[in-house]
Structures are given as C-alpha cells and as structure tokens.
Amino acid sequence: MPYDETSGLSAAQLRLGRLPGYVRQPDPARRAGERGSTYKKGWEVRFTARSEAEIAEIRELLVAAGFAPARPFFKGQQLIQPVYGMAVVRTYLEARELVA
C-alpha cells in the first residue's frame, strides 16, 4: 500500500478524507459526571451513502485502510456506514485536513 511522504497516511486512508461523513465524539464532561452505563457515546465516524453499491465501495476502502467497518444501517433516507474507535476518527480528520 503506497504511503504519502508528508503525512504517513496510506493512499486508502487519504481517500477516506474525500468521503462524505461526520464524526461523533464523546463529551468528556458527561463521561466524567455520569455512570458508564448511562452515557455510552464513543468515538465514531459515520460515512453516508445513497445506495448499497456505495456502501460496498466504502467498506472495501475501509478494509484497505486497515479499519473494521461495523454493520451499516438506515437513518432517514441515507445509508450510514459506522466505524468505531479513536484511531479511525483521528485518521479521518487528518485526511480531511490534507484533502481540503
């Protein structure tokens, strides 16, 4: 897998930055103040797609980038491909900065 000299990100990881999606992060104040069983929000990137074919492409790209995609789901009129973990959030945000 080729690497970008300036950032150390693989080509597949850089392509993730071009995908439409959004990041969900835990709120440290709520995490510290509430018991663990009541506040469960964690680190997550949600990629959005309009079709099953787009989800399949996103999943292939995630695997090529070294991440394990979770089960996709519908939210409104969109298909959502979630990927959990702090590493994928950091990689996605870094790739978005390099693409912009």
Domains and CATH numbers, the chain: 12-27+40-99 (3.10.28.10)
Amino acid letter, 11: A
Q: Is the pLDDT of residue 28 over 90?
A: no
Mean pLDDT of the region 25-34:
76
Q: What is the pLDDT of residue 35?
A: 66
Instruction: Read off the pLDDT of residues 32-70 as tens digits, 9 standing for 90 and up.
Output: 776 666 767 789 999 999 999 999 999 999 998 899 999
Q: Give the other-Cβ count within 10 Å of 26's Cβ.
A: 14
Is residue 8 very low, low, confident or very high in pLDDT (cuts 50, 70, 90)?
Answer: low
* CA–CA distance, 74 with 97 (Å, rounded to integer): 28
- Of the listed ranges 23-37, 41-55, 82-96, the one predicted with least confidence: 23-37
